[in-house]
Structure 1
Amino acid sequence: MGESIEQRTRLEVDDLLWRCPREWLEFETTADLGACEEIFGQPRAVAALRLALRLRSRGYNVFVAGPSGSGRTRTVRRILRQEAGGGAVPDDLCYVMNFEDLKAPRLIRLPAGKGRVLREAMATAADRFRQGVAALRASGDHRRRRESVAKDHLEEQTTLLSEFQDEVKQEGFALVEVNLGPYRRHEIAPLVDGQPVPFHELAALVRDGKLDEADAGRLRERHPDLAARLAQTAAKYRAIARDLEQSLSEADKDAARPLVDEVLEEIRSALALAEGLRPQLDEYLEQVGQYLVAVFPLLFAAGEHVASDSDSVETAMPDPLAALRVNVIVDRTGQKGLPIIEEANPTAARLFGFIEVQRTPEGEVRADLAGIHGGAMHMADGGFLLLNAHDLLQEDGAWAGLKRVLRTGRLSVAGNTPEGAAPLVPEAAPIDATVILVGTPALRELAAAEDEEFSKLFKVVSVFEERVPVSRPVVSSYACFLAHVIQEEELLPHGADAVARILETMVRVAGGRGKLASHLRLFTDLARESSLVAAEMGSDVVHREHVERTLLDRRQRSGFLSSRILESIDEGLLLLDTEGAVVGQINALAVVETSLERLGYPVRVTATTAVGRSGIIDIEREAELSGEIYTKASLILGGYLRSRFAQRHPLAITASVCFEQSYGGVEGDSASSAELAALLSSLGGVPLRQDLAVTGAVDQHGHVLAVGGINE
């Protein structure tokens, strides 16, 4: 006789457990291993990630998809360090004053570390220029030159007015000054008895007999000609004044230029850049030179004021040399390789920078160059930015801002001001960074479905599997990684037997003898807890029994629900038969999952049948306690029964199936084989063994499918 079904399908205990071969662990304790972070078994994920990091083209950003705790972020960090180490350090980013538009600070890129040099050089230049102005003032040379220039022009103006005054006096007029508010001007006034009088008083003087009518007529007749000559004289006077202003300006420029050239040369020497290497900087320094020449008279005059008035208000005036300050928003001094920036709190302000503003008592919003703050995107320019996808999508404006930067390659700080509209609009910074988002596969699919730009901007998907194949290299890498964690966190060394037991647990979690769960968080948590157990038991090394104790403690801590179910069975509250055989009754297996545990337990399934036309009545479905997958499985049962028994005649049956003592929702299809057995038992009157529990889904042809959750 051949083997029975029971003999052919019987599983031994060793078939249900995977034992780690001792020869795969070539060490006594983890202290013998060199620490490493590399985890094997994710070749596709690593290859996709390396592709994006090396391609560095627009749109080739990466979404790293994998379950939490799978080591995805740790692996990304390791690969980023490998890829970034040999790269050239990107530029510093600096904001400086835009002398053509004070509300639009300009951006300057400088080689790494030169931003700080420029900032210090500009501060030194401001001090040197101020000292140079003070030295010129102290020497008196420039003041004497200005006084000489002014004296010549003033004498020319005085001579001009004196000669004209003599002319008008001979005509019986006088040149007088008239105040018009804050201004003064010269006018022609007639002389009567040697005194100038207004023209409108001439008629009254004639009536009073103080002036002859003929003399008054002569004065009126001569006045237009003299007034025209006065206009000509005033024009010459103003021309002399303009020439004086121009001469003084030239004198100031002549005095300032050597000083300006000196400080600019000191700046260029401090930066030590090749000629023409940075056109932006050359243009900026040219504007700085023009600005210093322009403010020289102000600084010189302010010093003169201080010298003559100890209560000077100079300290209350804005410092014109404050315009030379440099705001280095990205300083890469001492950095090696490409930048790797990981932002744990990806708000819009922390990602894209912001402008700090002050509000005056009058409600006016003010900001200056120093209030411009860079963000993580600025820091990641030329390198990589690592973000948690869930955190990013939770923050208002963060995803929209990131899309804008990735799409345009430019980043503007102006839109990120806590107080609203900023009084500054800094020049947008060109940004070239590869962004790596880490999240779950479901989140990636949701983001791609909600935003069509998502897939265009994140063209590469690096998928970390929940399970990896069990092999000697993978086991060795897990052991090596564990040694790294133990060394890093100063845990007790683990013996090979302890590592083997942890690996066996990871295989059990994976649910297959040929797979290893990639849940590195559980992997390392078991090591941490086992280290504590071993220490409390007085051992210097963690062994297998310590891991066993850890697993037992875990089950006891989280086993509230399983204890309740066992109590219900022991006390007879949950009815189960474990002996004999019963028609239309079978023990199925259900799996329940909470935040603390996932467990399986037996549940009674019953079926009743009778002649009728209602077909199969699923009580769970009718009571609206079933989920979609369970409902589908019930319909598949109906399909199987019709295919098997209704080929020649209609299936005249009314049957009901029920999960007894189940008062919550039911989901899944793994109980359909038990339901089918109960139905066939009721139809044929064949009793079913009660010492067995059955699980597994069936298809419409009656084939039993693979079983999930078998460990539970």
Structure 2
Amino acid sequence: MPVSRGPEPLERSLTADQVAWRCPAEWLPFETTAELGDCASAYDQPKAVDAVRLAASLRARGYNVYVAGLPGTGRTSTVRRVLQEVRKKGPVPDDLCYVHNFADPRSPRALRLPAGAGRRLRAALDAAIERFQHGLLALRGSQTHRKRRQMIARRFQQQQSRIIKDFQTEVEKEGFALVEVNLGNFRRHELAPVVGGEPVSMGELDGKVHEGVIPAEEAERLRRRHPELAARLSRETAKLQALGRELERAVAEFDRQAAVPAIKEIVGGIREAVGLEEGERPGLDRFLADVENYLLEIFPVLYAQGEAVRTQPGEGTPFSPLDVLRVNLLVDRAEEDGRPLVEEVDPTAPRLCGVVEARRTPEGGLQAGLSSIRPGALHRADGGYLVLNARELLSEEGAWPALRRSMLTNSVTPVSGNASEGPPVLLPEPIPIDVTVVLVGTVGTHDLLHSGDEEFSKLFKVTALFDDRVPLTAEMVYSYACFLARVVKEEDLLPISRDGVARIMEYMVRLADSRHRLSTRFREMLDLAREATWFARERGVGRVEMQDVERALRARRERQGLLSGRIQDAIREGVLKLDLEGTAVGQVNALAVVQTKLERLGYPVRITATVAVGDEGVIDVEREADLSGEIHTKASLILAGYLRSQFARRLPLSVTASICFEQSYGGVEGDSASSAELAALLSALSNQPLRQDLAVTGAVDQHGNVLAVGGINEKIEGFWRACRERGFRGRPGVIIPSSCVAYLQLSPEVVDDIAAGKFRIHPVDSVAELMGLLAGIPFGAPDENGTWPAGSLGDRVSRRLSQMAETLRQFS
């Protein structure tokens, strides 16, 4: 398309002071951050902070908090700060213990005790085991007790002796003898016929008959009598066994009664050491009663064994009956002050709920005891607060269901550490808990959980929304400086000068996309301070200056600017065709923004328009090629609406127009180029050349108002780079919506060129102002009859459309 010179435009441009905010020196009353002591570094997120404080203080069922916001905006650090303040005002919660379940050993019993009492219970039970052993040994060494046991035993033994003697007399009359047979630790009596004065077995009778030692008739008599006497022997043996059992019970009861005072004293000592009266904690009362009964039950057994009792379980050693008195102090609160605050960075199901760590035995099986139970974050946070990252939680298989189950039941049960190897070997009782969960994530993750889990809104009744921007005030800038100073000291960075801090604050304004806001992306701010420190140390100086911050920003752009570099190369080499001087009909430089994970950049794109007689209206080439997004499609329809409202009051639109983003091969979305599209279309209809040293951005409505768009700073800087590459020919600049002026925070290089008159920013409110700048002639406005001022750009468009309508009428 031929390019020609046009008339000088009528223009209104912004000054350098209007395109960027500069931090006033009086807002930073220090030379370097080293002068800032313990000043307040609060973040002004009052609504979010109040929401967290509400849930933390209320502690009602379901009042857990989802903290929503962008990463790096201080969500977690602010939550941590608020909870630290609140937790110190609350009471210290209970200790959590697991103790042996005497009724069901596979299901250890949960026990809650006042803070510090768990530690005392554990020590008291360890001492009780020692006292029990000493009492056992003392009783075993008592001569008096031993003589009384012997008297009880002698009474039963005398009864047994009489039974044996009477039966032995009877069988001797029948020609039999009562023989005692030893089978190791077991003894029994048998009947043996007496032949020749010696007892023989029943199988030897025939041989004795052949030998003539005993007559056949006598042998036959013995055979007939043996079954009856053997039956009598079984009955007498049962009597002996019953007496033996009675003896064991009598001796055991004697031993038990002898131990009652000592055991009651031991259990009383446990209660006294714990410091809780009976009735204060029913769970402890039941456990101590079970301990007393158990000790009374095992005392006679251990006394009868007559050997030392092992009290320190070890690998490969036999189990001691006293091991069940050990306490697994799951959570010890003895040293805590206030409610606990737990932040779990690896929220797997075992780390949240605790785990039973079974070990493999030499035989290949699994074994777990009371000490195998390990606490989880929910145990440690009981009575306080648990902070979790939503993204990390959802990335761990089974973690969200485990947390959800605990929150719904207000209890937690340790999971099996060997779940894939079969049924759990230990099933601990659930422990009731009272935890306020604070889940930190993005708004998108919140919406995902809310739509995917019907219980989510019941579990998280409070949402704390963290804004990514805060008001720009002197107080807030000073608090940011205090925050910087604290991190500089903590991380041993170089002190930052006033000018350096000012440049960092200006960068935070740029991130906020508004001259009236500061970004809360603190991670970006701190990274910039760290990188600037590196450059300052490279210079060999003792503090960070503005030039170091600028070098850090420039280095960051160079590291991350692969795409922008390629676009600049394409402009420089002429691959991307752009006219940056002179005028052209039906052609405008628009501005686009592309966002990658590394950078957000703006660049110019050429928009062209052609018109012809017809009735198809405005054809958007991107839309026809399925490269247009929904918003861009809407914007192209608005253009047709604008033409109808301005130029089709008396005649129908009889035009077929085509609008195209030249050399654009990807999708196009958004309405920020609609003002440029309209300008190209009006130029084509009026045959009026437009300035090519200007670029245009802005949306339009059907009434011709130019509306605000996003990415304004990146768009301006993209065109500025292209113009700088060509040497600032003509009077280059960018036309923007007036409503975007408040969002300008241009880089220092662009501001310097604006101050030098090399580059310009023109704010406009209407299509009329826009076209006046581009075309260099007044656009005009129609009167009540739809008539435009003679010679105006609007008049040229109107006349052209009238001619097209007449031509179409003649050919139809």
Q: What is the TM-score normalised by the length of structure 2?
A: 0.79
Query: 34-43 or 570-579, which moves further after superposition?
Result: 34-43
2:518 matches 1:484: no
Q: Which residue of 1 aligns with 2:319?
A: 318
Q: Which residue of 1 aligns with 2:631?
A: 629
Q: For the residues of structure 2 that align with 1:564 and 1:206, how far apart are their CA atoms? A: 124
2:339 counterpart SS class: coil
1:377 deviates by 0.7
2:666 matches 1:664: yes
Q: How big is each residue's C-alpha offset from its partner over 1:333-376, in whole Å with a ceiling of 9 and x where there is no partner?
A: 31111111111111111111111112345442221111111111
Query: 285-294 or 46-55, which moves further after superposition?
Result: 285-294
Q: For the residues of structure 2 that align with 1:182 and 1:519, how far apart are their CA atoms? A: 82
Q: For the residues of structure 1 that align with 2:556 and 2:359, how far apart are their CA atoms? A: 55
Q: Which residue of 2 aligns with 1:534?
A: 536
2:55 counterpart SS class: helix
Q: For the residues of structure 1 that align with 2:448 and 2:591, how far apart are their CA atoms? A: 33
1:233 deviates by 4.7
Q: What letter corresponds to residue 105 of structure 1 in structure 2?
A: P
2:159 matches 1:159: no
Query: 174-183 or 663-672, which moves further after superposition?
Result: 174-183
Residue 39 of structure 1: which of 19, 31, 42 is its match?
Answer: 42
**Is 1:605–1:675's contact at 8 Å kept on the other side of the alignment?**
yes
Matches within 5 A, 1:287-686: 287-304=290-307, 317-360=318-361, 362-414=363-415, 417-420=418-421, 421-647=423-649, 649-686=651-688
1:540 deviates by 3.1
**Is 1:356–1:418's contact at 8 Å kept on the other side of the alignment?**
no
Q: For the residues of structure 1 that align with 2:617 and 2:458, how far apart are their CA atoms? A: 51
Residue 32 of structure 2: which of 29, 32, 35 is its match?
Answer: 29
Query: 264-273 or 158-167, which moves further after superposition?
Result: 264-273
Q: Which residue of 1 aligns with 2:63?
A: 60
Q: 1:302 to 1:181 in 2, by over 3 A?
A: closer
**Is 1:342–1:386's contact at 8 Å kept on the other side of the alignment?**
yes
2:598 counterpart SS class: coil
Q: Which residue of 1 aligns with 2:116?
A: 113
Matches within 5 A, 1:120-139: 120-139=123-142
2:710 counterpart SS class: coil
1:668 counterpart SS class: coil
1:673 deviates by 1.1
Q: For the residues of structure 2 that align with 1:361 and 1:243, how far apart are their CA atoms? A: 40
Q: 1:640 to 1:363 in 2, by over 3 A?
A: farther
Q: For the residues of structure 2 that align with 1:5 and 1:149, how far apart are their CA atoms? A: 127
2:96 counterpart SS class: strand
Q: For the residues of structure 2 that align with 1:620 and 1:218, how far apart are their CA atoms? A: 122
1:427 deviates by 0.6
1:691 deviates by 1.3
2:653 counterpart SS class: coil
**Is 1:367–1:422's contact at 8 Å kept on the other side of the alignment?**
no
2:275 matches 1:267: no
1:341 counterpart SS class: strand
**Is 2:209–2:219's contact at 8 Å kept on the other side of the alignment?**
no
1:183 deviates by 7.5
1:84 deviates by 0.5
Q: 1:701 to 1:417 in 2, by over 3 A?
A: farther
**Is 1:37–1:78's contact at 8 Å kept on the other side of the alignment?**
no
Q: Which residue of 2 aligns with 1:310?
A: none
Q: CA RMSD in A?
A: 3.3
1:305 deviates by 8.8
Q: Which residue of 1 aligns with 2:746?
A: none
**Is 2:88–2:338's contact at 8 Å kept on the other side of the alignment?**
yes
Q: For the residues of structure 2 that align with 1:209 and 1:169, how far apart are their CA atoms? A: 19
Q: What letter corresponds to residue 159 of structure 2 in structure 1?
A: E
Q: What letter corresponds to residue 623 of structure 2 in structure 1?
A: R
Q: 1:474 to 1:227 in 2, by over 3 A?
A: same
Q: What letter corresponds to residue 386 of structure 2 in structure 1?
A: L
Q: What letter corresponds to residue 328 of structure 1 in structure 2?
A: L
Q: For the residues of structure 1 that align with 2:563 and 2:695, how far apart are their CA atoms? A: 20
**Is 1:620–1:658's contact at 8 Å kept on the other side of the alignment?**
yes
Q: 1:12 to 1:222 in 2, by over 3 A?
A: closer
Q: For the residues of structure 1 that align with 2:270 and 2:569, how far apart are their CA atoms? A: 83
**Is 1:97–1:324's contact at 8 Å kept on the other side of the alignment?**
yes
Q: For the residues of structure 2 that align with 1:362 and 1:6, how far apart are their CA atoms? A: 95
Gaps of 5+ in 2: 1-7, 310-315, 715-812
Q: How big is each residue's C-alpha offset from its partner over 1:626-673, in whole Å with a ceiling of 9 and x where there is no partner?
A: 333323322333333344444555433322211112223322221111
1:462 deviates by 0.3
Q: 1:197 to 1:274 in 2, by over 3 A?
A: same
1:320 counterpart SS class: coil
Q: 1:5 to 1:286 in 2, by over 3 A?
A: farther
Q: 1:476 to 1:177 in 2, by over 3 A?
A: same
Query: 589-598 or 171-180, which moves further after superposition?
Result: 171-180
Query: 638-647 or 320-329, which moves further after superposition?
Result: 638-647
Q: 1:135 to 1:30 in 2, by over 3 A?
A: same
Q: For the residues of structure 1 that align with 2:367 and 2:652, how far apart are their CA atoms? A: 86
Q: For the residues of structure 1 that align with 2:332 and 2:473, how far apart are their CA atoms? A: 46
2:67 counterpart SS class: strand
Q: For the residues of structure 1 that align with 2:533 and 2:459, how far apart are their CA atoms? A: 45
**Is 1:470–1:515's contact at 8 Å kept on the other side of the alignment?**
yes
Q: How big is each residue's C-alpha offset from its partner over 1:576-626, in whole Å with a ceiling of 9 and x where there is no partner?
A: 112222111000011122222212111111111112233333222333333
1:94 counterpart SS class: strand
Gaps of 5+ in 1: 307-314
Q: For the residues of structure 2 that align with 1:236 and 1:183, how far apart are their CA atoms? A: 16
Q: For the residues of structure 2 that align with 1:334 and 1:182, how far apart are their CA atoms? A: 56
Q: For the residues of structure 2 that align with 1:219 and 1:533, how far apart are their CA atoms? A: 115
Q: 1:36 to 1:280 in 2, by over 3 A?
A: farther
Query: 180-189 or 126-135, which moves further after superposition?
Result: 180-189
Q: For the residues of structure 1 that align with 2:244 and 2:570, how far apart are their CA atoms? A: 109
Q: What letter corresponds to residue 132 of structure 1 in structure 2?
A: G
Q: 1:223 to 1:571 in 2, by over 3 A?
A: closer
**Is 2:278–2:285's contact at 8 Å kept on the other side of the alignment?**
no
Q: Which residue of 2 aligns with 1:99?
A: 102
Q: For the residues of structure 2 that align with 1:271 and 1:667, how far apart are their CA atoms? A: 71
Q: 1:36 to 1:354 in 2, by over 3 A?
A: farther
Q: For the residues of structure 2 that align with 1:330 and 1:584, how far apart are their CA atoms? A: 76
Q: What letter corresponds to residue 599 of structure 2 in structure 1?
A: E
2:685 matches 1:695: no
Query: 617-626 or 461-470, which moves further after superposition?
Result: 617-626
Q: What letter corresponds to residue 266 of structure 2 in structure 1?
A: V
Q: 1:214 to 1:329 in 2, by over 3 A?
A: closer
Q: Which residue of 2 aligns with 1:311?
A: none
Q: How big is each residue's C-alpha offset from its partner over 1:407-443, in whole Å with a ceiling of 9 and x where there is no partner?
A: 1101111455444421111010101100001111111
Query: 357-366 or 479-488, which moves further after superposition?
Result: 357-366
**Is 2:581–2:692's contact at 8 Å kept on the other side of the alignment?**
yes
Q: Which residue of 1 aligns with 2:709?
A: 707
Query: 613-622 or 317-326, which moves further after superposition?
Result: 613-622
Query: 120-129 or 425-434, which moves further after superposition?
Result: 120-129
2:330 counterpart SS class: strand
Residue 256 of structure 1: which of 252, 256, 259 is its match?
Answer: 259
